[in-house]
Chains A and B, each alone.
Chain A
Amino acid sequence: MWTERIPAPWWVFGLILLLLPIVASDFWLFQIMGWTFILGMIGLSLMFLAGYGGMVSLLQMSIAGMAGYMVAILGPSGAANVSLGLSWWIVLPAAFLIAALFATISGALAVRTDGIYTIMITLAIAAAFFYFTRQNYSVFNGYSGFNLVLPPQVFGVNWRDPLPFYYLTLACAALCYGAVVYLARAPFGLALQGVRDNPRRMAALGFNVTAHRVAAYALASVFASTGGILLVWQNAQIAPGTIGISSAIDVLVVAVVGGMRRPLGPFIGAFIYVLLQVFSTDILGFFGFSADRFKLIIGIGFLAIVLFSPDGVLGLWDRWRAGVAARKAATTGGGP
């Protein structure tokens, strides 16, 4: 049975997440956890590219934004003169497809480069897309963007109510997480990791390196798009500010803080990011400082994590476990 391969702590963790609504308030469900899962999914798409493919892409927020924009443009919104108001079962597939197309084309441009140049070219595309949405009024409705973008009432449920929204984001996050875990061990994922470690040898073995990388961009776009669409539904609006340069960098921060090596990392990073964003003013107020220095707390928090653990929070955990194991080995006099 595949269920036997999942360790016990995971079952407990899953159960806690499923039962969280019993104790947590609406604010925690909708705002903190909902936002965590959404940011985590967008971070996950970066983790997939960077961790398994070795490609650090600053484009993931733009891809999420493209999917979100498509939902607003094709579906109903407050900007009735621009939005087409199509039904959700046309809008959602179209949003995923267009975002995937955008990711594939951008990916095809970016994979010709390596390392810092990948970062540069994806940043350039992200910036171009941001300015384009801000100045194009006929399709993207310019500076003001779209408001009143609400999720469809499928099965008679208002998916923007805290409880349904929590389970919706949780389910999407779990699916994306599961997909990445599966992909990492599937032939495609193994080949991708091979491409990351030694592209020339993989090419010599007959693998098409470029095609693998472009396909990784296309696959990662699915996770980013899921996050992007949920983000638009959560905020009920999208505007160029949502996909600005600072948001693109935030995704990188989320992935780095959590840890790039495992798919759980971005979710942990997102949780820390959301907590800091929401509560930093309260922390300052608690110590009697003026609230307008709230960015200081956020900055110090991230700096501390990166300083003490270059591979994120998960890295800290790994080292702690290794330390425990070493101590145990020392007391029992070592072992096989």
Chain B
Amino acid sequence: MRKSLLGAVAVAALMLPGAALAQSGTIKIGILVALEGAFATGGQDGVRNVELALKQVNNTIAGKKIETVVAPTDTKPDTTVRMARKLVEQDKVDLIIGPLSGSEGIAMRDFAKTIPDKVVINGISGALETTWVDPAPNFYRFNLDGSQWGYGLGSYVVKKKGWKRVATIAADYSFGYTNFMGFAVDFCKSGGDIVQRFWQPLGQSDFGGIIAQLPDNVDAIYLGLGGTDAINFLNQYQQAGEKTRLIGGTIMADQTVLTAKGRAKDALKGTPTSGPFSADNKDPAWTSYVKLYQESFPANQRLPSPSLFGLGYYTATLAAIKGLEAAGGDLSNGQAKFKEALNKLQLDSPVGKITLNENRQATGTVFVNEVVDGPDGNMTSKMVDKTENVNQTLGMTTAQFRALGLPSRDAVDCAKLRAGG
């Protein structure tokens, strides 16, 4: 008796997916997000922002109720694909919003090809390859990629600051290369010269060797580091008595570094950086979004202002809502109407207008910010410039951009670009 009961329970458990099938009146959205490891705080902000965007439409689109399922990852691509498969096969979601980090994005591009009837809208992952090399027809990215985030900074430092010779120190992994590439393309084309490149392994805390090797006759040093690596570098840089001006990559001067304890961050004063948003942007689309974010959650359950990750997930959800509305909530026939609507979408996001190219990659605005003293003794960043309509090929033709090669340690031949090649 006992055994047969157990058997019945086991069979019922195996049949569960059938029972969990979504009713026709609802649309299920899977949120694929890192909630463990270095990006956990950013991931939580991502979930918060998906909820925020859905709350604006009362969790209803085209008369259909929206349900969400969160699938947590640890930024390992293995886990990401596993959780995505669970979302599709077990939870029967209609579309996935995510993932958060670069290598996850590439894994999801490959996974998306195995689920052609569903739509995947990128959360905030920024690897160039995701939508550049062999892109999946059902993978959409409404945020700019890592190389786009670096664009605009190079011409700014050459033209406005007059810094033409730089040495670079960047993190020795894909995001480091990609973000550096955007800066380098723009910088070299504007007439700048990169005299020396250093690559620092992720999470290695000793920068003594590199600091000793830094050349003296440069106008500035480009830093493509982030988080604790950035803080460690700045500490050792100051202790070594170095005073050369700095240029920051996108994650160099984010809130984690600027609000860190100690004097390390003082070295960043006056450092220009670039990225997909500017905290003090005066554009009403941005200010109203920040206000909405701050009013929707109590202060202890949110960050002071939306993070990069939160913004990405918010924009992705916004795109999903607009696309579903345009399709009238019709997800039949392999979601054909929804896909078509997304392809044509001109999204009014908090950071300006976003359109997609033929690889379903966003074209949008990149902001240049400068680190200044904040009102509360902390550092903050001030918007100084912006470049609109930055596309995936950074203003070049597809063939020219392809000729640069994929992001790597030696990608971007500076002399050749300077000469107009």
Q: Are A237 and B86 in contact (CB under 8 A)?
A: no
A31 & B82 in contact (Cβ 8 Å cutoff): yes
Main secondary structure of the interface of B (DSSP, over half): helix
Complex interface: chain B residues within 8 A of A143 (CB): 103, 172-174, 202
Q: How far in angstroms is the closest Cβ of chain B from A203?
A: 43
CA gap between A237 and B173 in the complex, in Å: 17
A27 and B201 form a contact (CB under 8 A): no
| Residue of A236, A237, A241, A295 touching B75 (CB-CB under 8 A) | A241
Q: Cβ of A31 and Cβ of B106 under 8 Å apart?
A: no
A147 within 8 A of B: yes
CA distance A30 to B82 in the complex (A): 10
Chain A residues with CB under 8 Å of B77's CB are 145, 147, 235, 237, 239, 241
Interface residues of A in 240-259 (CB under 8 A from B): 241-242, 244
CB of A212, distance to nearest CB on chain B (Å)? 35
A292 pairs with B17, CB closer than 8 A: no
Residues of chain B with a CB closer than 8 A to A239's CB: 76-78, 103
Say yes or no: A147-B86 contact (C-beta < 8 A), given A291-B72, A292-B35, A292-B43.
Answer: no
Of B43, B78, B172, which is within 8 A of A241 by CB?
A: B78
The interface bits of chain B over 74-117 (1 if a CB of A lies within 8 angstroms of the residue's CB, else 0) are: 11111001100110011000000000000100110010000000
Nearest chain B CB to A241 CB, angstrom units:
4
Q: How many residues of A contact B (CB 8 A)?
A: 35
Closest to A280 in B: B72
Report A296 CB to chain B, min CB distance, Å. 12
Known: A236-B110, A294-B72. A31 touches B35 (CB 8 A): no
The listed residue (B14, B35, B110) touching A28 by CB distance below 8 A is B14
Across the interface, do A27 and B35 meet the contact criterion of CB distance under 8 Å?
Answer: no
Q: B212: CB under 8 A from chain A?
A: no
Q: A31-B82, A78-B110, A235-B81 are in contact. Are A144 and B90 (CB under 8 A)?
A: no
Which chain B residues in 193-246 approach chain A with CB under 8 Å? 201-202
Question: Is A237 a contact partner of B44 (Cβ separation < 8 A)?
Answer: no
Shortest distance between the CB of B326 and any CB in chain A (Å): 30
B229 to chain A, nearest CB (A): 14
Given contacts A143-B173, A242-B76, contact A27 B110 (CB under 8 A): no
Are A291 and B35 in contact, CB atoms less than 8 angstroms apart? yes
* Interface residue from B36, B110, B201 paired with A134 (Cβ < 8 Å): B201
Q: Which residues of B contact A23 (CB under 8 A)?
A: 11, 14-15
B174 A147 Cβ-Cβ under 8 A: no
CB <8 Å contact, B17 and A25: yes
A31 touching B86 by the CB < 8 A rule? yes
Mark A272-308 against chain B: 1 for CB-CB distance below 8 A, else 0.
0000011001000100000110110000000000000
For residue A24, which residues in chain B have a CB less than 8 angstroms away from its CB? 14
Question: Which residues of A sit under 8 angstroms from B110, Cβ to Cβ?
Answer: 78, 147-148, 236-237
Question: Is B384 part of the binding interface, using a Cβ–Cβ cutoff of 8 Å?
Answer: no
Which DSSP category, helix, strand, loop or mixed, fits chain A's interface?
Answer: helix
CA distance A27 to B47 in the complex (A): 25
Q: Please indicate the chain A residues that have their CB under 8 angstroms from the CB of B81 in the complex.
A: 235-237
Question: Does B173 lie within 8 Å of A142, measured CB to CB?
Answer: yes
A26 at the interface (CB under 8 A from B): yes
Quick check: is B316 within 8 A (CB to CB) of the other chain? no
Decide if B70 is an interface residue (CB 8 Å cutoff).
yes
Question: Is B72 a contact partner of A147 (Cβ separation < 8 A)?
Answer: no
Contact partners of B70 in chain A: CB under 8 A: 281, 285, 291-292
Complex: A142 Cα to B171 Cα, angstroms: 12
B40 close to chain A: CB less than 8 A: yes
Interface presence of A135 (CB below 8 A): yes
Q: Please encode chain A, from 217 to 242, with 1 for each CB lying within 8 Å of some chain B CB and 0 for all others.
A: 00000000000000000011101011
- Complex contact B85–A292 (CB within 8 A): no
Counting CB contacts under 8 A, is B185 at the interface? Answer: no
| The one of A25, A147, A244 that contacts B89, using a Cβ cutoff of 8 Å | A25
Interface set, chain A 28-66, CB cutoff 8 A to B: 28, 30-31, 35
Distance in angstroms between the alpha carbons of A78 and B393 in the assembled complex: 22
Closest to B17 in A: A25
B320 interface residue (CB < 8 Å to A): no
For chain B residues 4-29, which have a beta carbon within 8 Å of chain A?
11, 14-15, 17-18
Does the CB pair A235–B71 fall under 8 Å?
Answer: no
Docked pose: A137 CA to B173 CA in angstroms: 10
**Across chains A and B, which 7 residue pairs bring their CB atoms closest together, nearest first?**
A27-B89, A241-B76, A143-B173, A291-B70, A292-B35, A24-B14, A25-B17
| Residues in chain B within 8 A of chain A (CB atoms) | 11, 14-15, 17-18, 35-36, 40, 43-44, 47, 69-72, 74-78, 81-82, 85-86, 89-90, 103, 106-107, 110, 172-174, 201-202, 409
Sample of 13 further A-B pairs with CB below 8 A, known A24-B14, A292-B70: A23-B11, A23-B15, A25-B89, A25-B90, A27-B89, A31-B85, A134-B201, A142-B172, A143-B202, A237-B77, A237-B107, A294-B72, A295-B36
Could you list 13 A-B pairs, sorted by A, with CB under 8 Å? Answer: A23-B15, A25-B14, A25-B15, A31-B82, A142-B173, A145-B77, A237-B110, A241-B76, A242-B78, A278-B82, A281-B71, A292-B72, A294-B35
